Amino acid sequence: MFVHYLLFFLLLKECLLIDLCEKSENCKECIRNPNVCVWCAAKAFNRTRCIPRSSYEADWCPEPVPVNELSNSIMIESNENKQIKPLKYEMKLRIGEPQTFNFTYDFKDNPVDVYFLLDASAMMGTKIKNIASKADGLYKTLETLTNDFTLGVGTFIDKNTWKENGKESYSFAHELSLTKDHQKFVTALESTPTGYNRDPPTGCLDAIAQAIVCDKLIGWREKSRKIIVVLTNNNYHDAGDGRVSGIFEPYDGQCYTDLKNKRYKRELTMDYPSVGMINKLVDHYKVTVLFLVESTVKSAYQSLSDVISGSYIDDWVNEPINPYDTTGQTLKKIYKQIIGNVTLNVDIKAKNIENVKIHLSPNCTKGNYDKNCLVKTDQSIKFEGSVEILNYDSTDNVSVEFSVQGLAEKLSIDIDVISDCRCEGNEKFSGYCNGRPLECGQCLCDDGNSACNFEGSICSGHTCFCGICHCTYPYTGKYCECNSLDCEKITSGNGECVDGKCQCKDEWSGITCSCPKSNSTCKGNDNRVCNDYGFCLCGKCECHELSDWDPRQLDSLCALSPCADCHKKQCIKLSSHVLRFNNEDLNEYSRSFIKMNSSDSLEDPLEPSWNLCPELRMENGCYTTFAYKYQDGYGIELLIQKNKNCDENILKLGVIVSVTVILVGIGTLVVWKLMTKYHDRKEYMELMKQYNPDQGARTNKLYIDPCVTFKNPSYRADPITES
């Protein structure tokens, strides 16, 4: 029963192949069919001209020989001492037909170049010193991995869009080219300057890009394994963040580090690199990036590492007992992963990637684990593979490259796609075709032949004669595929049929030809496009976003227009900037298009261009005032009064002192009263201790009776009665 089912499915597959091949109307379509078909180029052939190769029989097609193009490959040997052998294959491939190849990777102890990129922001100051003090441990660890290695140092903070405490920031500074001199490496670490950045994220991607592409300045060696170690405890800026500082030009992947001062000189004119650009540079220059970051930002860098091919990430302990022993051990672990587990990169142009099928054994591409990809020094891995073109997409030449992660060597496979027929007996003016061309057994001028075929329809339903379509109004084009009336309707009269397609007239663009190519509608009276604060898109201005301090509005031409209550809103929005202004450290600075100045007092009256804001309460309770005026172009200037109004504080101080005196007086009286009461009670208790009621009454010798009796001798008790 199983055999019967197997035979049934084989027959079904063969029938499907025959049907798919029969649909090919000419030799090119037959050869380009992914089912690997054969074409019969015989004249007056009434049978199916295109059949599967598996069904081909010798008596199927008479002379000439059927068109049956075969795939082949040529291996280009190299006598050079390379780790990947061979370095090149040249192939001719039929579509749908796999072609095998093989190559060998010999693992050798390559030289190693390690370039350290250190975050030199102020928060990293003590950490950099700690790193320098433990450099010996790192050096000894690397000595255990390879005999030939060099070390280099670079630093980064962020784009120098502002200054803090007189210190400049920078996106990348090259401190030390790759060298074997251990002492120079230590000195470079110890002398690393620190600075301040505008916000916590750094210009890390600027530094990585310059460290990769400035190979001569850095000193990368041709046959070395190139490793960039990024140490930071801050997040990173990427493409688009530069717009906050008015930087719109995208980074183009070139080296712009000055050879004299070794600083990145385009940091204020070019935006941060995109993550895609970093991945492209890493892949092109065969560089391995190792991110050693603190746990607070690890999730952000994990996402970055997932996108960058061949990159690694690990924890950088904040304040370990022996931090560079930890860093050295991390480098050792990652290095063993790089050299011990072979990772193959397969590079195919983006337009061909969906149309090329690759099979490898062992499969050592990224994301696949195979124990056969593990290798040790002086060992080899033999790879066997196949490549197949799945469909014809008008591409006749395809290139596939295989490289080992971290090495510059690569195997290149140049594929010539077989897409044309080499037929015998072709004639430009054939008597068999009555003077018309004969190609691969077919006359090219027969009514309804393939020369008139367009997307499965012959002349879109119109008449075909000798390979030429004859169209009726309003249809035009080679295959009568364009309706000129519909074209005019869709494009509102701004388009016309050209070469069978509805195309816009010279002065219009867009899908419906509704976008004028001229930018005249985006110009104002001063002939500026969108007032230099936007760009013209489809005849309309697309304006840049206003800064957070600006309450004004933009009109349709990106011109600034004040609102009814702009002054009140403007004063409120500027208050936070005034409060952050430090008179002791800075007299003037610019940030986010804000220019700040200070003065002992504001002149009264101010110039008409200045706008005075209400008094602003400071943190210390005093009041200050400030004025502003808009600058030409875009920006604002602030004038802040240094002398503060502290009258309210003096009144408060007097009230506080008076209340304090009263409270102290009341407290003193209470204390005196308590002390007096305590003293009297103490005396009374002493007296009571001396009194004993059992001893009876006693006479005090010192006692003096307070009562005195006086007798009047002349006093008579009886009254005198007169007779």
> What is d(CA 674, CA 379) in angstroms, rounded to the nearest whole number?
98
Fold of the domain built from segment(s) 112-340: Rossmann fold (3.40.50)
Cα 680 from chain centre: 85
pLDDT at 9 over 70: no
> What is d(CA 574, CA 595) in angstroms, rounded to the nearest whole number?
12
> What is d(CA 43, CA 440) in angstroms, rounded to the nearest whole number?
8
Residues 248 and 220 sit within 8 Å (Cβ to Cβ): no
For residue 507, what pLDDT is reported?
Answer: 83
Q: What single DSSP character describes residue 153?
A: E
Tokens of 131: 């790193």
pLDDT at 68 over 90: no
Tokens of 97: 């037909």
For residue 615, what pLDDT is reported?
Answer: 81
Name the pLDDT band for 151 (thresholds 50, 70, 90). Answer: very high
pLDDT at 448 over 70: no
At 71, phi and psi to the nearest 5?
-75, 150
> What is d(CA 614, CA 636) in angstroms, rounded to the nearest whole number?
18
Q: Give, in words, the CATH class of 72-107+343-417.
A: mainly beta
For residue 340, what pLDDT is reported?
Answer: 74
Tokens of 720: 């005198």
Task: Give the CB-side neighbour count of residue 164, counting CA atoms within 13 A.
Answer: 16
DSSP lists the bridge partners of residue 523 as 529
Choose between 572 and 303: higher pLDDT: 303
For residue 278, what pLDDT is reported?
Answer: 95
Residues 503 and 488 sit within 8 Å (Cβ to Cβ): no
Cα 292 from chain centre: 18
Q: Which helix (H) or strand (E) holds 313?
A: strand 312-315
Fold of the domain built from segment(s) 564-647: Hormone receptor fold (4.10.1240)
Q: What angle do CA 425, 429, 435 make, to 5 degrees?
A: 125
CA–CA distances in Å: residue 374 to residues 338, 365, 370, 406, 407: 10, 13, 8, 15, 16
pLDDT at 117 over 80: yes
The two beta strands, 149-156 and 112-119, are: parallel
Over range 149-163, report the average pLDDT. 88
Name the pLDDT band for 216 (thresholds 50, 70, 90). Answer: very high
Q: For 333-347, what is each residue's pLDDT tens digit?
A: 777 777 777 888 888
pLDDT at 13 over 70: no
Name the pLDDT band for 305 (thresholds 50, 70, 90). Answer: very high
Over range 87-108, report the average pLDDT. 91
Q: For 377-394, what is each residue's pLDDT tens digit?
A: 778 889 999 999 999 888
Name the pLDDT band for 15 (thresholds 50, 70, 90). Answer: very low
Q: Beta-carbon neighbour count of residue 534 at 10 Å?
A: 19
For residue 723, what pLDDT is reported?
Answer: 45
Choose between 720 and 598: higher pLDDT: 598
Residues in contact with 548: Cβ distance below 8 Å, sequence separation at least 6, in sequence order: 573, 592
656 three-state secondary structure: helix
Pick the closest to residue 390 from 358, 344, 356, 351 (CA basis). 356
For residue 111, what pLDDT is reported?
Answer: 87
Give percent above pLDDT 90 in the chain.
Answer: 24
Phi-psi label, residue 531: left if phi above 0, alpha if psi -120 to 50, beta otherwise: left
DSSP lists the bridge partners of residue 397 as 416
Choose between 648 and 350: higher pLDDT: 350
For residue 585, what pLDDT is reported?
Answer: 45
For residue 466, what pLDDT is reported?
Answer: 55
Over range 56-63, report the average pLDDT. 81
Name the pLDDT band for 434 (thresholds 50, 70, 90). Answer: low
62-66, 352-356, 506-510: lowest mean pLDDT where? 62-66
For residue 707, what pLDDT is reported?
Answer: 83
> What is d(CA 452, CA 480) in angstroms, rounded to the nearest whole number?
10
Over range 126-135, report the average pLDDT. 77
pLDDT at 722 over 90: no
Pick the closest to residue 334 from 407, 224, 207, 229 (CA basis). 229
> What is d(CA 271, CA 427) in angstroms, rounded to the nearest whole number?
60
> What type of residue is 382?
K
Over range 41-59, report the average pLDDT. 84
> What is d(CA 103, CA 105) in angstroms, rounded to the nearest whole number?
7
DSSP symbols for 549-613: T---EE-TTS-EE--TTHHHHHHHHHHHHHHH--TTT-S-EEETTEEEEEESS--SSPPTT-EEP
pLDDT at 57 over 90: no
Residues in contact with 551: Cβ distance below 8 Å, sequence separation at least 6, in sequence order: 563, 566, 569, 570, 573
Q: What angle do CA 562, 567, 571 make, to 5 degrees?
A: 130
Residues in contact with 123: Cβ distance below 8 Å, sequence separation at least 6, in sequence order: 233, 234
232 three-state secondary structure: strand
Over range 148-159, report the average pLDDT. 92
What are the b/e assignments for 483-493, b being 16+ CB within 10 Å? Answer: bbeebbebbee
> What is d(CA 36, CA 94) in angstroms, rounded to the nearest whole number?
7
For the chain, the residue count is 723
Question: What residue segments make up the domains of the chain, in order of their start?
Answer: 2-69, 72-107+343-417, 112-340, 564-647
175 three-state secondary structure: strand
pLDDT at 316 over 80: no
Over range 45-69, report the average pLDDT. 83
Name the pLDDT band for 324 (thresholds 50, 70, 90). Answer: very low
Residues 545 and 536 sit within 8 Å (Cβ to Cβ): no
Residues in contact with 630: Cβ distance below 8 Å, sequence separation at least 6, in sequence order: 560, 636, 637
pLDDT at 12 over 60: no
> What is d(CA 703, CA 475) in angstroms, rounded to the nearest whole number?
150
DSSP lists the bridge partners of residue 117 as 154, 230
pTM score: 0.53
Question: What average pLDDT does the chain have?
Answer: 81
Over range 128-148, report the average pLDDT. 78
The two beta strands, 287-293 and 312-315, are: parallel
On the 0-12 / 13-18 / 19+ scale of CB atoms within 10 A, 369 is: exposed
pLDDT at 256 over 90: yes
For residue 247, what pLDDT is reported?
Answer: 92
CA–CA distances in Å: residue 501 to residues 213, 450, 462, 476, 638: 44, 20, 17, 9, 59
Pick the closest to residue 587 from 512, 635, 638, 628 (CA basis). 638
Please tell me which of 190-204, 221-235, 363-377 the model is most confident about, judged by mean pLDDT: 221-235
165-179, 213-227, 428-442, 660-674: lowest mean pLDDT where? 428-442
> What is d(CA 30, CA 45) in angstroms, rounded to the nearest whole number?
16
What are the b/e assignments for 505-528, b being 16+ CB within 10 Å? Answer: eeebbeeebbbbeeeeebbeeeee
Q: For 511-554, what is each residue's pLDDT tens digit?
A: 778 888 888 888 888 888 888 888 888 888 988 888 878 888 88
> What is d(CA 155, CA 147) in angstroms, rounded to the nearest whole number?
26
